[in-house]
Chain A
Amino acid sequence: MTDAFAVDVDNVSKVFPKGNVTALDHVSFRVRPGMVFGLLGPNGAGKTTLVRILSTVLRPDSGTAKVFGLDVTKHDDEVRRMIGLAGQYATVDENLTGSENLKMVGRLSRLSRVDARTRSGELLEMFGLSDAGSRPVKTYSGGMRRRLDLAASLVARPPMLFLDEPTTGLDPQSRKDLWRVIEELVSAGATILLTTQYLEEADRFCESLVVVDHGRIIAEGTPADLKATLGETVVAISFADASSALKAAERLSDLSEHPLFVDGEEIELTVDQGPKITAEALRRLDAAGIEVGGIVLREPSLDDVFLALTGKRTDANDGTEPPAPTKKRGK
């Protein structure tokens, strides 16, 4: 392990022959050890494909991917000993209990029976599942399954963790619980590659990130860099018709240094001082006699990042709808 990078992805491409989908198109990035690295993008951007390649589940068509200097296709067995994988689809065995699931993963990760049992107990406690540990997983809630899945990825104490949308589809409380665990892992010094659809999540954990869309990296840097491309607040104003929206856009375009978008009867501008600019916008519209249908102020979402980066909306869903949790097959 002389390589200075925990993850080194160099020019990786992957095409799925079925439907001729280019999942990854010459993707390159590097992750330093001990870092939380974010892979941000909408559904279908290629995040999961990348994680599957790095966790040796899938082979790239071209390019090389290394984990701690080991090529994932040539030294897959060694790589598997150093990684933990937790997916957005909680892959735990429904028919086994929580404790049995962890013991199974322990045994399959070459722990002795005694160690597997001890580790299972530790992790159940750590994830607040001690009481549920002896119940079959089919009785678990979505949040509990996700915690168990994350626990399973930690059984062998891997130095590299791949967390693939760990909080997608979770309720706010479960999401906060998971965040706490991720924070603990971070302070324990694990290297984490985290994929997410949520800007908030990336902002909270990631020192550095890449934004992927259609299998390409469209932006990279720190969350601060990314946000700098946006304002602090998105002001969305709707009008009676599209022509009013266009007229309004003309009068408001100088309000912000960030671009203004017109979408049918609605305009959106990202600004740094939400309330002040909003008041000014309303004054101008009133003076011009343009009637405002509605006005919404919100924090920029991933969608807004995409809008700013690409000038178009993400064409997957809006990032808030989780996919069906269980049905899954290599796409």
Chain B
Amino acid sequence: MTTTSLDAIASPSLPEGGSLRWMLANIATIAWRNLMAILRIPELLFFSTLQPIMFVLLFRYVFAGAISRPGLDYVAFLMPGIFVQTVCFGAVSTAIGLADDLQKGLIERFRALPMSRTAVLAGRTVADVCRNVFVIVVMTIVALAVGFRPTGGALNYFLAFLLMLLFAFALSWGFAFVGLAAPSAETAQVMAFPLLFPLTFASSCFVPVQTLPSWLRGFATYQPVSQVADAVRQLMVGNNKLFPYPFAHEWVAALIWTVGILVVLAPLAVRKFRNAI
């Protein structure tokens, strides 16, 4: 350590500036920090991308024969479902990451800084959107390799991509809440899965909902993950015959769910954050 003079004290004359501008700057800083963590642990990114690829291969080559029915091109049916399932599972990392930050005391440091309260959470969910972009691109390549042909066209594919990102962003806020409620990162993970499993598996992600028992069919048809999966499927492969539910445009329902989840859960998560500890 050198003996450089320590000008520790100065008048607290921090720049004022618009608070919205600083909130956005804070979100960018926290998002950057979370993305650096992803880049610095390449193993985590590698294996977290490997898992959805395994799902693709599992359903494509192991279950497809048993699930396939006449008139159903299972690869076309499956891929949009797997995409949606993947971004849903990815939202768990929001919960794990926040719980980890809490546990390690980093959140405490953030709380003692003159930064936006919302930015701690928004920086995390924005970083998770960036991660999802990467994951969906990788999965698209894998899907094309195993015979998936998006017949809906490039624009529709792009719209499906955006819808998934937005839905994942909304879900992240819900899982941010879980992460803040969990006593540890490990607990956050086990708390998240009982929420995710019914949503992703009792859905139209992997099987047409008509094949489900009647008591489950209602839930499976109208719950958000199914609606998003249906919308993504419609945009990507444009085959309306597979979808039983009465909305003319699946994406309208999907969008309503997405915005609804965001509007309800984001403020709840921020409130939880303000009150936590």
Contact = CB atoms under 8 A, between A and B. Distances in A.
A95 B41 contact: yes
A189 B33 CA distance: 33
Given A177-B1, A188-B5, A158 B12 contact: yes
A157 B112 contact: no
A109 B29 CA distance: 11
A95 B40 contact: yes
Contact of A189 (B3, B9, B17, B184): B9
Contacts of B3: 184
A101 to B, nearest CB: 9
A329 B108 CA distance: 9
A89 B37 CA distance: 20
Interface residues of B, number: 43
For B33, B36, B105, the residue with the greatest tally of chain A CB atoms inside 10 Å of its CB is B105
B115 interface: yes
Given A57-B111, A109-B113, A329-B183, A159 B105 contact: no
A110 B4 contact: no
A227 interface: no
B249 interface: no
Nearest to A83: B112
A110 B103 contact: no
B8 A80 contact: no
A327 interface: yes
Nearest to B184: A329
B248 interface: no
B106 interface: yes
B36 A87 contact: no
A96 interface: yes
Contacts of A87: 105, 108-109
SS of A interface (majority): loop
A110 B12 contact: no
A56 B30 CA distance: 20
Given A95-B36, A156-B14, A107 B25 contact: yes
A107 B29 CA distance: 7
Contact of A55 (B2, B26, B41, B112): B112
Interface string A105-126: 1011110100000000010011
Contacts of B102: 329
B22 interface: yes
Contacts of A330: 276-277
Given A57-B108, A85-B109, A109 B12 contact: no
A126 B1 contact: yes
A1 to B, nearest CB: 9
Interface string B235-277: 0000000000000000000000000000000000000000011
Contacts of A85: 108-109, 112
A269 interface: no
A189 B6 CA distance: 9
A95 B32 CA distance: 12
Contacts of B105: 87, 89, 91, 326, 328
Contact of B22 (A58, A110, A152): A110
B181 to A, nearest CB: 12
B37 A93 contact: yes
B53 to A, nearest CB: 25
A91 B41 contact: no
B104 interface: yes
Secondary structure of the B side of the interface? loop
B157 interface: no
B9 A126 contact: no
A110 B15 contact: yes
Contacts of B103: 326-329
B36 A100 contact: yes
B155 interface: no
Contact of A128 (B2, B8, B10): B2
A22 to B, nearest CB: 17
A127 interface: yes
Contacts of A89: 104-105
Contacts of B113: 80, 105, 108-109
Contacts of A132: none
Contact of A326 (B15, B104, B108): B104
Contact of A108 (B7, B36, B110): B110
A109 B115 contact: yes
Contacts of B22: 110
A311 to B, nearest CB: 35
B29 A184 contact: no
Contacts of A187: 6
A328 B105 CA distance: 6
Contacts of A328: 103-105, 108
A104 interface: yes
A57 B26 CA distance: 18
Q: Which of B103, B113, B184 has the most CB of A within 10 A?
A: B113
A157 B9 contact: yes
Interface of A: 52, 55-58, 77, 80-83, 85, 87, 89, 91-96, 100, 104-105, 107-110, 112, 122, 125-128, 136, 147, 152, 154, 156-159, 161, 177, 180-181, 184-185, 187-190, 326-330
19 contacts: A57-B111, A57-B112, A85-B112, A91-B106, A95-B41, A108-B113, A110-B14, A126-B4, A154-B8, A156-B114, A157-B7, A157-B8, A180-B1, A181-B1, A188-B5, A188-B7, A190-B8, A190-B9, A330-B277
Q: Which 3 A-B pairs have the closest CB atoms?
A: A330-B277, A91-B105, A128-B1
Given A107-B26, A154-B6, 10 more contacts: A56-B111, A85-B112, A91-B109, A93-B37, A96-B36, A108-B110, A110-B22, A181-B6, A185-B8, A329-B183
